[in-house]
Amino acid sequence: MSDGAGDEAARRRTFAVISHPDAGKSTLTEALALHARVLTSAGAVHGKGDRRGVTSDWLEMEQARGISITSAALQFAYGDTVINLLDTPGHADFSEDTYRVLAAVDSAVMLLDAAKGLEPQTLKLFDVCRHRGIPVMTFINKWDRPGLDPLQLCEELSERIDLPAMPLTWPVGFAGNFHGVQDLRTGEMVRYERTAGGATAAPEEHLSPEQAREQHADDWEQACEESELMLAERGEFSYQRFLDGTATPVLFGAAMLNFGVRHLLDALVEMAPPPTPRLDVDERARELDAPFSAFVFKVQTGMDRAHRDQVAFARVCSGKFERGMNVTNARTGRPFATKYVQQVFGQQRSTVDEAYPGDVIGLVNATALRVGDTLYEGKPAVRFPGLPSFAPAHFAVARPKDLGRAKQFRKGVDQLESEGVVQILRSDRRGDATPVFAAVGPMQFEVAAHRLDDEFGVSVELDHLPYRTVRRLTDSTHRRVIESSRRAEVLTRTDGTDLALFNDDVALGALQRQHPELAVEHLIASGDGA
């Protein structure tokens, strides 16, 4: 048994920030850390003057483009609570990375742009959270800019995704003329004061309803009328409905100005669920006080350019982790030494000596680990379900421009594969020298090529393949049938899955008419059981 692991887990809040691109995830991530007094000033992507890049967007391409293309982990204390905050890629091309992160959290903050409401990627992420049973808290961002009506935004949640809004705060002033919020639990108004560039926490002034009415007249009255209408229609706030995923608490703010962020942080501490026992591959609950166990949900190289080391991010599921302990990798059955373990705050690191359920630890020099691996201490063995691999939609043959860099090319490809940057497909016909990169979205190719060049000194050529229809080959004896077609081939993924690739549905249909016995099926997200 692990003394105190359950008690320590109760202090943890582990959540992800998810949204459509450009909704302000990385800005909100920094604003939350700022209000927890971990940062002294917040940055912004493409900031001006002395404003620096956001802490969670550390990759060179992220800083240049102003988007998140990798997930990032931040850990900090807020009062007696330990926050494990995971920022995620917003771009749809990197949804596989986002889905892995969602396997490592206990709740999520969904960020909506006040001017755009629910967008395609937002809808997909809500569906993933619902499927995984992850409670979602909603933060309607950018209220300092012109946007939609607050009632309309709340109605969207109910009508489009059947997730009724339960407002905790309500904006005073229309979008673009933001004075503060009405705290629906206290009835008072919290008024914000702008700071230079939004780089420091916004000072707050608390006004009684009478003071708010006197100083903000029509805007306060409108806020009261709208919030009362919402309460009349939806009823009082229900904590159980939030946990059940049948309703979402809603807060309004402007992350760039740090308006409304404290309310969100306080709500997360109060309402977000702490870690609970995880199910292993046999669907047995791993109790929090059981010996140490964790699973790897992300592998990242290049965070420290001086050393080019590899960091495996692992979510602690049970027990007390102590640096230096010897654990077992369930996939290989081999021991793994935890001599170098770090706590990560964006690109900054500090050595961690202990961790508890809900914490995210960075295992350094973890070349033996890959996404989905389970680590555990003692006996009996434990193994958590593997993380999903998604059906790729884009394919390209990769080869080094300089054949003299073939060794570095192979090393770089192995690295990208272990991190899940792209899926690597191979076949005897093509040979190991020309692997096929497979991606959910085309921007993954750009990231892969950039990293091969930047980290391994290998410029690559990518010859895009015409395949648009993907199936899983369930009978390997049918490989020859598929490869007899000029519009199809079979490639094998590292997890052993044979993928049958066709130019389009027409090519697949024609081959099936010629060979009715052809055994292929739709590819679904799958884990390798590691």
- Give yes or no for a contact between 144 and 134, defined as CB atoms under 8 angstroms apart: no
The DSSP annotation for 274-288 comes to PP-PEE-TTS-EE-T
Beta bridge partners of 464: 396
Q: Could you give the angle at which helices 150-161 and 209-234 cross, rounded to 10 degrees?
A: 20
> CB-based burial of residue 295 (10 Å sphere; 0-12 exposed, 13-18 middle, 19+ buried)?
buried
Greatest C-alpha distance within the chain: 80
* Residue 91 is labelled as binding a ligand: yes
**What is the amino acid identity at position 435?**
P
Tally of residues, the chain: 530
- Residue 89 marked ligand-binding: yes
CA separation for the pair 262, 267 (Å, rounded): 8
Instruction: Scan for tokens 């990032």, then name that residue.
Output: 72
Q: For residue 246, give both structure tokens.
A: 């049948």
Q: What is the DSSP string of 294-309?
A: EEEEEEEE-SSTTTT-
88 labelled ligand-binding: yes
Contact call for residues 96 and 440 (beta carbons, < 8 A): yes
What is the layout of strands, in order, in the sheet containing 436-439? 460-464, 394-400, 436-439, 423-426, 488-493, 498-502, 469-473, 520-522
Tokens of 422: 């792209």
Binding positions: 87-91
Binding positions for GTP: 87-91
